[in-house]
Amino acid sequence: MNHEDGRTGVNFRASHYRIARTAGVCPRCHGNTPMVALMLPPGHEALSVDEGDASPGVDVSSGSAIWESVPRHAFLFYVESLPDEATRHLQVLAPKYRFAASPATGGAYWANHCVRCDAFQEDQDLFCEPEGAFSPVSSAAASRIELLPVAEAIEVSAAGYALDPQFVGL
């Protein structure tokens, strides 16, 4: 598991996944840069933790957390840990994808960086803002996102989770 910050709290897993690939515009240099994201298929599992136990470091072996099957696709973002093999796949497609501290949040996560100026590409902008690289507002915009299947199991720690991304065809 590749988790630069030492955290191991896996909260999503799947028997296979997709890598979403697109090009986005860097807010600093305004150049196009390759961007990647993880998409889990229907049937992936999410760790469900009792509300009272939702603090960092919760002991999932205590029975207060269970794995639940999710019947829909989902994008993961604010990814805190990745298996080494998934990291290699992502970095082949977007060489500047790496673990780094976010200037906006102060936290660290696996993020896209501009291939020209090396600027950090905030997940908030890519996944949560309309017209972000992975939050298209039309079918035409979504058609620019390529979904590449990866026939490997994956276990990930992520703080962001977008179910059924709008317009993203599967």
- 14-64 pLDDT per residue, tens: 999 999 999 999 999 999 999 999 999 999 999 998 755 444 444 544 557
Look at residue 7 and tell me if it is in a domain.
no
Look at residue 104 and tell me if it is in a domain.
yes
* Sequence-separated (6 or more) residues with CB below 8 Å from residue 99: 2, 3, 4, 5, 108, 109, 110, 111
Domain coverage including residue 57: 12-163
- Output phi, psi for 122, to 5 deg: -65, 130
Look at residue 151 and tell me if it is in a domain.
yes
pLDDT at 7: 45
Q: What is the number of domains present in the chain?
A: 1
**Which tens digit of pLDDT belongs to each residue from 126-160?**
999 999 999 999 999 999 999 999 999 999 999 99
* pTM (two decimals): 0.86
- Please say if the pLDDT value at position 95 is more than 80: yes
State how far the alpha carbon of 136 is from the alpha carbons of 41, 43, 67, 115, 125, in Å: 19, 24, 30, 22, 12
Look at residue 3 and tell me if it is in a domain.
no
pLDDT at 126: 97
Separation of alpha carbons 16 and 39, rounded Å: 10
Structure tokens at 106: 């102060």
Look at residue 169 and tell me if it is in a domain.
no
Cα radius of gyration rounded to whole Å, the chain: 16
Look at residue 142 and tell me if it is in a domain.
yes
Separation of alpha carbons 36 and 23, rounded Å: 8
pLDDT at 51: 59
Percentage of the chain surpassing pLDDT 70?
86
